[in-house]
Structure 1
Amino acid sequence: MNEKKTLIRRKILKELYFQESLSCADICCKIDKSFPVTAKLIEDLMAENLVVESGYAVSTGGRRPLTYTLQKNVMYLVSVAMDQFVTKIAIMDMQNNFISTIEKIVLPLPENPDALQVLTEKIIFVIENSGIPAEKFVGVGIGMPGFVDVKKGINYTFLQLPHNKSLTRHIAEKIKMPVFIDNDSSLIALAELRFGAAREVSNAMVINIAWGIGLGLIINGKLFRGQEGFAGEFSHIPLFLNGKLCSCGKTGCLETETSLLLIVERAREGIKAGRISKLSSLQCDDLEQDCDAIIEAVKTGDQFAIELFSKAGYNIGKGVAVLIHLLNPKTIILSGRGSSAGQIWHAPIQQSLNEHCIYRLHQSTGIEISTLGNQAELIGAAALVMENYEQIPNIKMQLASQQIGHLKVLKHTN
């Protein structure tokens, strides 16, 4: 099969992954090919059991077109979602279903020289124990905090290799399949753009409420990365004169008054000081468990927990006001771990916008809570692989070439 035909086939599979089902005419428009060419390629993909018919589209007045979707249980994605302390690894199918239990490991990234080795070994373990043949895996997508250079495959904050060697190449050589990395907040925005609240929105700001406060920018229907790929460092806008040292080394950053890390810290301090709350059983040695407990307390109306989230929400609103003044987005989407607290965010953020934002600017900006919630980064990491689907044959060839070269060196040495 020639290279051009392979590329077009991959474009079809990619479009079906992101759209779930499409008619032949829809696919023609998306890949910019004629109907006969597209129909023949779809026929070939069906013969190979990669694509199946999924019924007829809704009638628009004429004959209803036949639609197509990806076959189940033929291709799989390895998705990795990392934050500063915990890593989750999952295997997903082409319909974004989790094939098995999500593997969760405590893996601190700051000042941990063993983190990369542990991550790589755990990915290999999940793949080997899945029972899925290696050839059915498309690739691995990894979301991680820090300054991530997507093109070079380097994280300048965590998991650094000597001489800034490519992190993606290093992991790919170990697990023997294509690997792609990106910033966690960018992948959460990608998940919202492709499958969530930003799917039909041209301009949206996706706020990742986590141990920090990340941001993914969707401008003109595309993920905006900036000149070096580092756009969206929302956490480190210096908005407060509180003298608090931020993880970036500056003081008064948005993160110091809004993050889930801060909420857990204040909850623990409040309980220790005698605040009456359902949170009297906080563990004080497990961030994730304590954070989940506080979010559950919010949902059950615990006054102290609501105060903590309301104050953080008001301060997030100050940052959102800056975004609205600069970019005038249609929608602000609250995503990531913290979004699972739900509607508690709306009132304090709206109050903050009323006080700090010009009404003409924010009156048409909606605030939405993500429906993807705590799984947004995993979904985004899987989507990252398919975003790069056309590149995968070349990457596999490079990996095979490197492996052959390595075997020749071993043979010569022996």
Structure 2
Amino acid sequence: MSEKRYLFKKKLIKSLYFGGTLSSADLSAIAQKNIQITSKAINELVDEGSVLAAGYAHSTGGRCPQLFSLKPGLMYVVAVAMDQLTTRISLLNMENNFVGEVRELDFILSNQSTLINELAGHLNQFILDSGIPKSKIAGIGIGMPGFVDSEKGINHSFLKVQEGSIVSILEKITKLPVSIDNDSSLIALAEFKIGAAQGKQNVMVVNIGWGIGLGMILNEKLYRGNDGLAGELSHIPLFTNDKICTCGKMGCLETETSLLVVVEKAMRGLSEGKPSILKNLNPENVEEAAELILNAAIQGDTFAVELISEAGYNIGRGIAILVHILNPKTIILSGRGSIGGKLWTTPIQQALNEHCIPKIAENLNTEISTLGSLAELYGAAALVMEHYDEVHPKTKTRNTLIQINN
């Protein structure tokens, strides 16, 4: 089989992954190939056992079109979601269902290049424990915070390397294709592919976590910017509070709105005698503390609600800047903190009402993600499949580890 033919069939598999059940006409339009070429390739995939005939679509007249879907168990993706404190590793099938449990590691991100080898070891062990042969894994997708250049496979903030890239090192050790991207970009990708941003043209996806990330869907495409570094909402200089941000600057949006800041304010308030159902927040376990605060707010605890409302209002001030510049249709609140649900939308809307020109914001909708803390894992899986039909720029063999006929 020629490489061109091989990659075209992989493109069809990719299209079925994202589209679910599709007809030859649907696939022809997506692949921008004529129906005869597409139908022949699809029938070959059926004969090879990669694709199944999935019944017929409804028709208002004429012959009902045959539908196709991927064979269950065809292959899997390893999805990794990293933040400054923990790393989660998961396995997903082609229906975006989790296979087995999500593994959580106390893996603290830093600039130590030796951590890449440690991460590779965890990935290899996870795959071994899953019982799935590497020949059936399409690749590894990794989301991480920081200034990530997904094209070069490097992170300018964490896991810096002297030679090669994060991607090249991990590919060498795991013997699998690896793709990395910024965590907020992947959260936006997940929302666009399977979440609240499906079918929408201009969407801002706000990632509420240890920072305030941003992923942008512009004209139905994920916008990464010139160097892949777009979306650093956290570092808009919005305050004159003399607080040093993690980026080294002062007064960034993050310094008054991140969940880390919410935890700090909660512990300070409790030490000053603020009445609350919150007790004994552990500064050594900020993940648990943040979850406790959000749950207390959901239960109506006045102090916890005040903390979320203050952070939400300030996030809204940051979003107001985006609204004036980009005029989006929808704002989606996603990520770890989105479990707070509507507790965020009221203060954010208040800020938008106060700081936006009414005409610009009159058709703006604010929604809560249904993917929650799993969004980054879904996005990491989608990242793998976005690259599934590409050729590696150096070796010309990217993703050829997966054979079409299993």
Question: What TM bracket, shorter-length normalisation?
Answer: over 0.9
Show the 5 A alignment for 1:11-410. 11-110=11-110, 112=112, 114-163=114-163, 165-391=164-390
* Displacement of 1:327: 0.3
Distance 2:280 2:48 in 1: 56
* Displacement of 1:264: 1.2
Gaps of 5+ in 1: 402-414
* Displacement of 1:316: 0.5
Task: Sort the Cα spacing of 1:286 and 1:122 in 2 relative to 1 into closer, same or farther, 3 A.
Answer: same
Q: CA RMSD in A?
A: 1.8
* Displacement of 1:257: 0.9
Distance 2:204 2:273 in 1: 38
Distance 1:315 1:93 in 2: 39
* Displacement of 1:55: 2.8
SS at 1:227 equivalent: coil
Gaps of 5+ in 2: 401-406
CA deviations on 1:277-334 (whole Å, 9 max, x unpaired) are 2211422211111111112112211211111111111000000100000000011111
Partner of 2:403: none
Distance 1:156 1:312 in 2: 28
Q: Which 10-residue stretch deviates more, 80-89 or 102-111?
A: 102-111
CA deviations on 1:189-212 (whole Å, 9 max, x unpaired) are 111111111111111111111100
Distance 2:239 2:58 in 1: 53
Distance 1:147 1:333 in 2: 22
Task: Sort the Cα spacing of 1:243 and 1:168 in 2 relative to 1 into closer, same or farther, 3 A.
Answer: same
Distance 2:15 2:152 in 1: 26
Indicate if the aligned counterparts of 1:108 and 1:115 stay in contact, CA closer than 8 A: no
* Displacement of 1:393: 7.0
* Displacement of 1:54: 2.4
Indicate if the aligned counterparts of 1:143 and 1:183 stay in contact, CA closer than 8 A: yes
Distance 1:303 1:61 in 2: 60
Q: Which amino acid aligns with 2:363?
A: S
Q: Which 10-residue stretch deviates more, 30-39 or 11-20?
A: 30-39
Indicate if the aligned counterparts of 1:148 and 1:229 stay in contact, CA closer than 8 A: yes
Distance 2:46 2:12 in 1: 12
Distance 1:51 1:207 in 2: 36
CA deviations on 1:257-290 (whole Å, 9 max, x unpaired) are 1111111111122222222222114222111111
Q: Number of paired residues?
A: 400
Indicate if the aligned counterparts of 1:173 and 1:399 stay in contact, CA closer than 8 A: no
Distance 1:8 1:186 in 2: 27
CA deviations on 1:366-414 (whole Å, 9 max, x unpaired) are 101111110010000010011111125777765899xxxxxxxxxxxxx
* Displacement of 1:85: 0.8
Task: Sort the Cα spacing of 1:307 and 1:232 in 2 relative to 1 into closer, same or farther, 3 A.
Answer: same
Greater RCO (CA < 8 Å, at least 6 residues apart): 2
* Displacement of 1:115: 2.6
* Displacement of 1:134: 1.3
Q: Which amino acid aligns with 1:271?
A: L
Task: Sort the Cα spacing of 1:400 and 1:239 in 2 relative to 1 into closer, same or farther, 3 A.
Answer: closer
Indicate if the aligned counterparts of 1:176 and 1:399 stay in contact, CA closer than 8 A: no
Task: Sort the Cα spacing of 1:279 and 1:192 in 2 relative to 1 into closer, same or farther, 3 A.
Answer: same
Partner of 2:404: none
Distance 2:199 2:387 in 1: 22
SS at 1:312 equivalent: helix
Distance 2:398 2:320 in 1: 47
Distance 1:279 1:66 in 2: 58
SS at 2:11 equivalent: helix
TM-score (norm 2): 0.95
